[in-house]
Amino acid sequence: MSNSGRAKVNVPKLVLDYITPSMNQYGLCFVDGFLGPKTGDRILQEVVALHRSGSFEDGELASQRIGTDQPHTAPAGPCKKTIRGDKIMWVQGNEPGCASIGQLLQRMDKLIMHADGNLGHYTIRGRHKSYKET
């Protein structure tokens, strides 16, 4: 679905006619031009700047955060916390240097609000702090 002309998008219609059917059928959805190239580029610049600042942390599996810093045992033997090779940073969009990320999160919140009750057996009650991954 293309929105490259940046005309005002009818969010409820987009959600009901395209996003929720795609999510229910495939478990994912692509909306071309959702942000527009300028906003997308600004988000990229913010993420790159945050990454260069050293604000990102090693990604961890959820089960690793439950215990202590004890080594975990995998089938191949002991391993350390570096099971995942990505770097993450949790943001809400109101932190310094995250204005465009905040715009993205606001748009996502609006989509989620309109999708309420239309995602099969899933109920979305809210959003936790978002993370950016590299």
- Domain with 57 in it: 11-63+78-133
- 34 pLDDT band, cuts 50/70/90, is confident
* Domain membership flag for residue 32: yes
* Domain membership flag for residue 5: no
pLDDT surpasses 70 at 21 = yes
Are residues 32 and 3 in contact, defined by beta-carbon separation less than 8 angstroms? yes
Q: At what angle do helices 37-52 and 99-115 cross, to 10 degrees?
A: 120
Higher-confidence position of 74 and 121: 121
Instruction: Tell me what percent of the residues of the chain surpass a pLDDT of 90.
Output: 32
pLDDT the model gives residue 104:
93
pLDDT surpasses 50 at 38 = yes
* Domain membership flag for residue 35: yes
pLDDT the model gives residue 33:
86
pLDDT the model gives residue 5:
47
Instruction: Tell me what percent of the residues of the chain surpass a pLDDT of 70.
Output: 71
| Short-list 111, 132, 123, CA closest to 51 | 132
Residue pLDDT, tens place only, 59-116: 887 765 555 555 555 555 555 555 678 888 889 899 999 999 999 999 988 888 888 8
Q: Where are the beta strands (DSSP E) in 3-129?
A: 57-58, 72-74, 77-79, 87-91
* Pick from 36-40, 113-117, 123-127: least confident: 123-127
* Domain membership flag for residue 125: yes
Backbone angles phi, psi at 87, to 5 degrees: -120, 140
Neighbours of 118 (CB within 10 A): 14
Count of the separate structural domains present in the chain: 1
* Domain membership flag for residue 119: yes
pLDDT surpasses 50 at 3 = no
pLDDT the model gives residue 70:
52
